Amino acid sequence: MKTFSNLILKLTGWRIVGELPGPKSILIGAPHTSNWDLPVALLTFWNLSFSAHWIGKHTIFKPPLGGLMRKLGGIPIDRGTTKDFVPEVVSWFERESELTIVIAPEGTRSRTEYWRSGFYWIAHGAGIPIGLGFVDYPSRTAGIGISIMPTGDIAADMEKIRDFYADKIGRHPENASTVDVRPA
């Protein structure tokens, strides 16, 4: 897949940077403002030679593309009926020696007031780093920037995350969400 991804990236002018923060991590996918974010993310995974699973809205896993989405690492989530999602995902990390899960904390391609905080609490509960994955459409750069180890002080850790994403621009900047979580 790396050869395929390199060809497509070269033809489309995208540059990939960074590396995974370790054998186990939560990887943020942001800003998430377009359907094109997923293909760019998949090309990034293949280019950096790692296998990632990603969480997606359950409706994209219906036929005719549902099987393909699963083969590409997708894990469906129905936000309306999911209970105990964070502890469930933490247990996945406890069972596996290597696992990367990508989560778009905006939860949608539309503008939201807050990010969902599940990515943070999964990483904190599993004791794993959060890699700050990104797409920046003006520079046609995608990849993984810094990583942070969650301290449990979500406000302080979100400040670091907000600083990182300050200059990352999605395909549709008007849809970009505020990089913050709902106050406790």
- Quick one: pLDDT at residue 182? 85
Widest CA span of the chain, in angstroms?
46
pTM above 0.85, yes or no: yes
Give per-residue burial for 21-47: e unless 16+ CB within 10 Å, then b.
Answer: beebbbbbbbbbbbeebbebbbbbbbb
Residues of the chain above pLDDT 70, percent:
98
Q: Which 3-state string (H, E, C) describes 41-86?
A: HHHHHHHCCCCCEEEEEHHHHCCCCHHHHHHCCEEEECCCCCCCHH
How far is it, in rounded angstroms, from Cα 45 to Cα 111? 25
- Ranges of residues in the chain whose predicted pLDDT is under 50: none
User: pLDDT tens digit string along 57-111?
Assistant: 888 889 998 998 888 888 888 767 667 889 988 998 999 999 999 998 987 778 8
Q: Which helix (H) or strand (E) element contains residue 147?
A: strand 141-148
> What are the φ/ψ torsions at residue 94 (nearest 5 degrees)?
-70, -30
- Quick one: pLDDT at residue 140? 97
Of the candidates 18, 44, 17, 22, the one whose C-alpha atom is nearest the C-alpha of residue 129 is 22
Tracing tokens 């106050």 back to the chain, one arrives at: 183
